[in-house]
Structure 1
Amino acid sequence: MASGVAVSDEVINCFNDMKVRKSCSQADLKKRKKAVLFKLDDSKEKIILDQEKQITVGDVLEGRICDPLNSFIKMLPLNDCRYALYDASFETKETKKEELIFMHWVPEDASVEWKMIYASSKDALKKKLTGVKHEWQVTSIDELMDRCELAAKLGSGVVAFESQKI
């Protein structure tokens, strides 16, 4: 079911910046987004970037954020829905990887109205996020706190998630 909600150019640009891995200066690398939240605007007509809910690679590299997953979890509103992009760093026995995860945050305490609006608008956003390998619908903080469960969702053989051994 499509809601007719539009996706802002700002969201598409943010996604493209996160998706494309290119060589860049250290300063540009630090500006790169590690995690972002998207929300519906007040008119419920457009999906926009939640400007106050972001983590940059610089936040992690400079030590302002030691555990990006935990900081990401703290950004999620406990009683409102959101969409999120998370640039996950993980290791398998063979290699280190970084892959984008699209999350649909639907906490149990969110109103039924908002759950329905976000659910019906998700496809409009997903169509714009071409190339995302992983999509997760998350309903509780506990689901995100379990690194073993997150690792399993990324595939078999994951031995570390965000530099923490599984």
Structure 2
Amino acid sequence: DGVTYSFGIFYLEFLHYFREGKGKTAWIASILVGVTLCSGPISSSFVNRYGCRPVTIAGALLSSVCMILSMFAQDVLTLYFTIGIGTGMGFGLIYLPAIVSVTCYFERLRSLATGIAVCGSGLGTFLFAPLTEWLIYQFGWRGAMLIIAAILLNSVVFGALFRPLEAPKTKKQPLTIE
């Protein structure tokens, strides 16, 4: 979420580089946030079918690859697809399984664990805003995208750490005929 909610920092860079209107340029971040948040039903169906681990890994790979592809964009329309739809869908595939896995791992302190997990969104935004600004200043918007794509690949590792839960063992009851 840190990347998503601090993505507006790229706005001025895109505005100057692509020389498009403010509204057309603002759609990039709007599509990113919209697709990320609206991908919940798709992400949940994948989690039900494949589990949290592979869905998170797929989302991390998708978001990173699409962020890298964005470096080569020659127009705003391309960014609608690479950042808005591709990276947005990737983020949606990361976010939902992360929350679901927390609720599955913690029974007794589920509310606290979920609260801490959701708090990561705020912390990520707090950290990524100045980091993104610094990366753009040091490396330009394309270099910043590449570095952020590399950072996103860490979610592959985090996704791999989601261990599948074993179903609770039930005591076998002897069969009785009455």
TM-score for the superposition, normalised by structure 2: 0.34
Structure (1 or 2) with the greater helix fraction: 2
Q: Which has the larger radius of gyration?
A: 2
